[in-house]
Amino acid sequence: MSLSASIDMGRYARRWLRVYYSPGRAFADLETEQSASESILILIVIVSVVLIAGIVTLPVALDTERALIEMELQSYSNLSMFQQSIILREASKFDHRQLAGLLIMPASVCLMLVAWSVVGKHSGELIFGKLLPYNKVLPITGYALLVLVPETVVKTTLVLLWGSLDPAIHPGVLLDDADLETLPGLFLTGVDFFGIWFLYLLGLGLARTFQGSVILTWFALGLVWCMWIVIRRTMENLGTVYV
């Protein structure tokens, strides 16, 4: 049993690596060899990587929160130095807030899997007029979500190097500060390069399974993604935090 599981893991790992350098072949293999266990393993791997990254960057998150509280305390002149030191000490401790933040990370991965599977399924059905069950769409989305592994590694490295929880990996880094305040600038700061890679893979896999145009699939997914970016950036500018 253990030997069989080891062989399966080796085969799965080789197919997952192909997603990065030969996605067409990876999705072709997925068409002929789909299994629920592989989809679960992909989700476990991605969630584990994301969770480990959250733990590794936790000191940066605590330092950031401490710095924000220090700035806020400057407006409270009625607090003594002793009271301020207690508040800052408590802000540097790991508590239920940080635990909740860590738990949100794997939950967001699962939500992303479900949300984009729904979008991909119904977009494909609308464009190509073919019905496709979720058990065909979910593995495709799972393969596309493997982008989260290199994304998490890169962003975690940048967080540790720069000390910022929001490393800029978007076209907005090419703009001047003044341009970032314009509508195009606000939009471009929401266009993550890894998000583009994810949509590329998802569209490629869906088009192959639907046996339709990959260009049309990319267009439909890109339209939904752009709408989400606009909504998210609008809400952020209104002062509401969305992940």
pLDDT reported for residue 87:
66
Residue 210 has pLDDT above 80, yes or no: yes
Cα(175)–Cα(185) distance, integer angstroms: 7
Residue 171 has pLDDT above 90, yes or no: no
Is the CB of residue 198 less than 8 Å from the CB of residue 144? yes
Other CB atoms within 10 Å distance of the CB of residue 228: 15
Cα(109)–Cα(47) distance, integer angstroms: 7
Cα(12)–Cα(104) distance, integer angstroms: 27
Place of tokens 């088009």: 207
pLDDT reported for residue 213:
93
* Contacts with 123 (C-beta within 8 Å, 6 or more apart), sequence order: 206, 217, 220, 221, 224
DSSP 172: G
Cα(200)–Cα(23) distance, integer angstroms: 10
pTM (2 d.p.): 0.84
Q: Identify the band that residue 22 occupies on the pLDDT scale cut at 50, 70 and 90.
A: very high
